[in-house]
A = this chain, B = another copy of it.
Amino acid sequence: MVQSVERALEILECIAHAGGAAHLNEIARETRLKPTTAHNILKTLHALGYVRRREKNTRYYLGDRILNLARVAGNDSGLRRTLRPALEAMAEQTGETVFVAVPSGDEVYFLDAIESLKPLKAASQEGQRTPMVGSAIGLLFLAHIPSLRRRMLGPHADRIGPSIDAEIDATAERGYALDQENYLPGLNCVAVPWIDDGEVRAGFGLSGPTRRLPLETLTELAETMSGIVARI
């Protein structure tokens, strides 16, 4: 492991996590680097265009050059377009709030969503991010992407939550993920994977009030959703 590479990327993620802009000391604290070291790396990132600064304040911003890589690495809008019909089918057939999410580093990113039309409904989280641990959709990714699981949990899985490892195993076993009021009391979720070219590229989720979605209903919905996904 090349130390400074790891640190540089940690700094970039740190700025991203702070919403795209951060102060040197903020970054240094967050990454547990000495301010001087953080400064050195930021200077490099700045010189290369991956980080920028504005006249007004002393913050460090993420630079456009990152988009250079992203445009090749993958394109969200293409993916969204591909999956939209399936999402619409799910919304129609289930009547609940449904969404598409992708693993984005150590977090889950909500790519697209359709809200239920019912008076009591789960909110769309389109454009938001959520930690991997603690949601059905995150569980889904952890269960299907071994490298992610290794990176996130490693040997000290228990620190995050007891039984988390067992939960992931159960999810992997049954193929889809369930969340019964873990993410939020009163809210239940199911999530099924979209597997393309042998790997999980995205996940479809459905959430709604517990009263409408008992365990039995959730498992039925998982079947319905899997059926739709299979036809993509």
Interface residues of A (CB under 8 A from B): 1-9, 12-13, 15-16, 19-20, 40-41, 43-45, 47-50, 52, 55, 62-74, 76-77, 102-107, 109, 147-148, 151, 198
Contact = CB atoms under 8 A, between A and B. Distances in A.
B68 A73 contact: no
Contact of A44 (B5, B55, B71): B5
10 contacts: A5-B45, A6-B48, A20-B73, A49-B147, A52-B147, A62-B69, A64-B104, A67-B70, A69-B70, A70-B73
Contact of A1 (B19, B43, B62, B67): B43
Nearest to A73: B62
A68 B2 contact: no
| Copies of this chain per assembly | 2
A88 B5 CA distance: 44
A2 B41 contact: yes
A48 B9 contact: yes
Contact of A73 (B55, B66, B198): B66
A211 B76 CA distance: 40
B1 A72 contact: no
Contacts of A64: 73-74, 102-105
A104 to B, nearest CB: 5
B73 A40 contact: no
